[in-house]
Amino acid sequence: MRRYDERSTLASKLERGDVTDGELAALAQTLARFHESAAVAPAVPATAGRARARELALAIAHNIDELLAILAEHADRERVLALARFARAFVARHAQMLDERVRRGMVREVHGDLRAEHVLLDGHVQIVDCVEFDRGLRELDVADDIAFLVMDLTARGAERLARALVRAYRDAGGDPGEDQLIAFYATHRALVRAKVELLQDAQRVAAGGDPQPHAPAHPHAPAHPHAHAARARELLALAERFAWRARAPFVLVVCGLPASGKSHLARALCSASGLRHLSSDLVRKQLAGVEPAERAPRAAYSAEFSARTYEELAQAAAAEVSARGGALVDATFRHRADRDAFARAFGDAAPLLFIECRVAPAVLAERAARRERDALDRVSDASLSVVLRESSSWEPLAEVAPEALLTLDGERPVEALVAQVTEAIDRWVGPARARAGRA
């Protein structure tokens, strides 16, 4: 055996910030050649159809059951249960595609543990420490294999390099499927690593009694006695972010009267999902040529100017779909004419899920009055009088298909609303998405 220089690993080079584009391209080419030459895994008997999807669902469920068994915090368990729901929905939605990849020979005997510390970049690319003890653990879709490294790079703060690696892998002839498939497998890999971190934490405590400070398990893990547990929570958050990417393409339209809580919810959803927040207030003021905290002129709220605002908002959302798979649109959408203007400009760029926030009239008035008192740096121009006037002229979203419209109680805690939205998205499959949210 020959010991390799730890300084030449991808993990070490990431720490120093000296990974070059050439090294990344060479790594992608090496992976593509390796996957192309790897032995195709024996086909799973398809006696009941959709064998790969069924096998994958069982493997993911098994890992999640093991993770749930060692999670102590109720909130963490709820997060993992939500991710389990997402995984079931994804596999059900894409079962045909998953099985087709088996038929095309995309499930092969690959590495199985493709992490940055196992990649050597010392003049030429070497990849070490594959899973040798269990052939079943390395018989994977090539998308799953590369997704492990995508997850690890992203966890290490190198998301740009992760995206570049996938592009270079495709350019080299690799077939990882769509970005949503990679994100799905990256979600699974983040959950696997979270389980490993928690198991290591439990072993450390069992071996030494009270936990003692030690070196962090990961270069970005906190250096304190519970570093493994903290790292596991980071990985749960990363799994949630990848799950949002795997749900794409779609656009969330968060709408409702001013002071209904829609912008508060929109910001929370953007934080959870990584989607870009597109606000009609900002777009309107940009078109009017005023600063965000300035009041827009009266003419900026005419029917014609509003139509321009919603058209611009739709074009920005469509561009985000093309670039990153989705976006979050934050606007009242109170007039049918505004919604029609948005729909015409957006076209069929992606399915739309409308999320309407509602609160009781008294709460609406109280919030609007409070916003007027605390107007510093506020973007919305909606005063109490505007809120009251608009509440009496709201035009129901009758043209939106019922399965693509989620009505929320804006008085509930925002964390509960985010959970409600993610659950609705995981139910929002098949024909409902095909109609792009419109009747």
Res 7: pLDDT: 86
For residue 208, pLDDT over 70 is answered with no
Q: Pairing between strand 119-121 and 125-127?
A: antiparallel
Report the amino acid identity of residue 267. Answer: R
Res 315: pLDDT: 98
Q: Tell me the pLDDT tens digit for each residue of 86-115.
A: 999 999 999 999 989 998 999 999 988 899
Distance CA 382, CA 281 (A): 10
Burial class, 39, CB count within 10 angstroms (exposed 0-12 / middle 13-18 / buried 19+): exposed
The domains of the chain, with CATH numbers, are 6-242 (3.90.1200.10), 248-434 (3.40.50.300)
Distance CA 44, CA 27 (A): 31
Under 8 Å between Cβ of 113 and 45: no
Structure token pair of residue 2: 């020959």
CA 73: distance to chain centroid?
23
Res 52: pLDDT: 73
Report the amino acid identity of residue 314. Answer: A
* Mean pLDDT along residues 326-338: 95
Could you tell me the pLDDT band of residue 258, with boundaries at 50, 70 and 90?
confident
* Mean pLDDT along residues 35-49: 70
3-class SS of residue 403: helix
- Stated pTM of the model: 0.85
3-class SS of residue 84: helix
CA dihedral 133, 134, 135, 139 (to 10 degrees): -120
Give kind and range of the element (H or E) at residue 126. Answer: strand 125-127
Q: What percentage of the chain reaches a pLDDT higher than 90?
A: 63
Res 202: pLDDT: 75
Structure token pair of residue 8: 């030449």
Q: What percentage of the chain reaches a pLDDT higher than 70?
A: 84
Res 219: pLDDT: 47
Greater model confidence, 432 or 307: 307
Handedness of CA 420, 326, 250, 60 (dihedral sign): negative
Phi-psi region of 69 (alpha: psi -120 to 50; beta: other; left: phi over 0): alpha
Phi, psi dihedrals of residue 188, rounded to the nearest 5°: -60, -45
Contacts of 358 (CB under 8 A, 6+ apart): 256, 260, 407, 408, 409, 410
Structure token pair of residue 400: 């939106």
